[in-house]
Amino acid sequence: MKKIFASLIFTFLVTFQVFTQKASPEIVLQTSEGNITLRLYDNTPLHSKNFVKLVNDGYYDNQLFHRVIKNFMIQSGDPGSINAKPSARLGSGGPNYTIPPEFNPLYYHKKGAIAAARLSDNMNPKKESSGSQFYIVVGQVFTKNQLDGMVKNGQHSAFSKEEVDSYTSIGGTPNLDLQYTVFGEVVEGLDIIDKISQVLTDANDRPIVDIKIIKAYIKNK
């Protein structure tokens, strides 16, 4: 009887915990081109909690999207971009720490995915993420034959049905899967990332006219 009672108590506590857990945080990037709302993933806690902390600290306020590549991605997170001169080369700034990778096969580089930037493999064999720099995937649409070719050529291990559906409809950058940590996705504002991705850039992929994160904040905080 005591064992049954204890089991019931345990079940109640687990159920209570599940129903009282906070929902995945949503973050609004108020940019000079419009708002982008991101939802962070629970299963990448190191990256998600770090991102929330930086947002709460105002870290991203007034930073630029310093690297924009059409049909690929838009990138921000360099504190050196705040009030940077037009000729300044950006992309090396950040806090004095990195984050261990949190690769998850459930999270892939579909359009709108948010992922952590990092140094290249030869400088960073552990694939540790930048402490602050991130990119949002724009990508391109692939055919099923193109995806099959990537598997055949060893560029990708395999594609789930969900991944195939995403990459052949909204698109993405499948060659980056399980190489960079994906820790969230855009839930509102895909049109804004499309708009930003089309701007004119210089030889270093920096927009000619600055694209700024005016403010980043937790939604419904």
Residue type, 133: Q
Q: State both tokens at 135.
A: 């990119």
pLDDT tens-digit series, residues 115-137: 999 999 999 999 999 999 999 99
Task: Give residue 204's pLDDT.
Answer: 96
Task: Give residue 190's pLDDT.
Answer: 98
Q: What is the C-alpha separation between 196 and 138, in angstroms, rounded?
A: 10
pLDDT tens string, the chain, 221 residues long: the values are 444 443 443 334 334 333 333 457 899 999 999 999 999 999 999 999 999 999 999 999 999 999 999 999 999 999 999 999 998 999 999 999 999 999 999 999 999 999 999 999 999 999 999 999 999 999 999 999 999 999 999 999 999 999 999 999 999 999 999 999 999 999 999 999 999 999 999 999 999 999 999 999 999 76
Domains in the chain, ordered, with CATH?
23-218 (2.40.100.10)
Q: What is the C-alpha separation between 174 and 163, in angstroms, rounded?
A: 9
Q: Which distant-in-sequence residues (6+ apart) come within 8 Å of 109 by Cβ?
A: 115, 137, 139, 172, 173, 174, 175, 176, 177, 180, 182
Task: Give residue 64's pLDDT.
Answer: 98
Query: What residues does 60 pair with on adjacent strands?
Result: none
pLDDT tens-digit series, residues 88-118: 999 999 999 999 999 999 999 999 999 999 9
pTM of the model: 0.89
